[in-house]
Amino acid sequence: MKKNSYSNYFGFTLIELLIVIAILGVLAVVVLVAVNPVQQLARTRDAGRKSAIGQVGRTLQAYYTARNATYVTEDDQWLNSLAVSGELSTVPSAITYSIGADDPNCGAGAVRANNLCYDYDDIENNAIVFARMESESEISKCNSGLQPFFVYSTIDGRAGLVCSDTPPTPGNQNWNSIQ
């Protein structure tokens, strides 16, 4: 008759399995904290806003050139007007801000479409397109109390990050604050 011996069996004990599961749980928490999915999503939305602003800014320049040095009318349909004119092939989708975040403040005189702000100065004949950034990586580029805005300025023909306590206005970008 064969003796009952545990030495002939291979496998893990319950304690060993529980220890491995606990270690994997701790590692999962550490990785989740390091990755911070909320901030990853905010950075993704900011990247989408930057891309849309660059695209719309270049479109404004093309519209200006094709329309004898005039910009699109500053109204609620300004973004659709660029598409109808043929300068913008696809209107960028609205990129919403994180849950609980305030809607972007476009400031006095500016109008908003798809969470992009547009402001036109008919006296100086220049325009800007901008959006407030929301990720911690963009906010950390500004001094305390200032908000990061990604701005395309037609007078300068470029886009960049501007730190300001109020929404930007045409011709009034502090490009020295671009990071």
Split into its structural domains, the chain has a count of 1
Name the token pair of 177. Answer: 């604050």
pLDDT at residue number 178? 47
- Would you say the C-alpha torsion 160, 80, 117, 45 has a positive or negative sign? negative
Q: Is residue 96 part of a domain?
A: yes
Q: Is residue 7 part of a domain?
A: no
**Domain hosting residue 19, numbered range:** 12-177
Q: Is residue 2 part of a domain?
A: no
pLDDT at residue number 19? 94
pLDDT at residue number 69? 87
Question: Mean pLDDT throughout 140-150?
Answer: 90
Residue 9's pLDDT band (cuts 50, 70, 90): low
Q: Is residue 36 part of a domain?
A: yes
Q: Is residue 3 part of a domain?
A: no
pLDDT at residue number 37? 83
pLDDT at residue number 96? 86
Whether 7 has a pLDDT exceeding 80, the answer reads: no
Inter-residue contact 49 to 151 (CB < 8 Å): no
Q: Is residue 26 part of a domain?
A: yes
Please indicate, yes or no, whether the overall pTM of this predicted structure exceeds 0.85.
no
What are the tens digits of pLDDT across the range 121-142?
888 888 999 999 999 999 999 9
What are the tens digits of pLDDT across the range 86-134?
888 889 988 888 765 666 778 888 999 998 999 998 888 889 999 999 9
Whether 12 has a pLDDT exceeding 90, the answer reads: no
Q: Is residue 47 part of a domain?
A: yes
Residue 145's pLDDT band (cuts 50, 70, 90): confident
What are the tens digits of pLDDT across the range 27-82?
988 887 777 888 888 999 999 999 999 999 999 999 999 988 889 988 889 999 99
Q: Is residue 1 part of a domain?
A: no
What's the mean per-residue pLDDT of the chain?
85
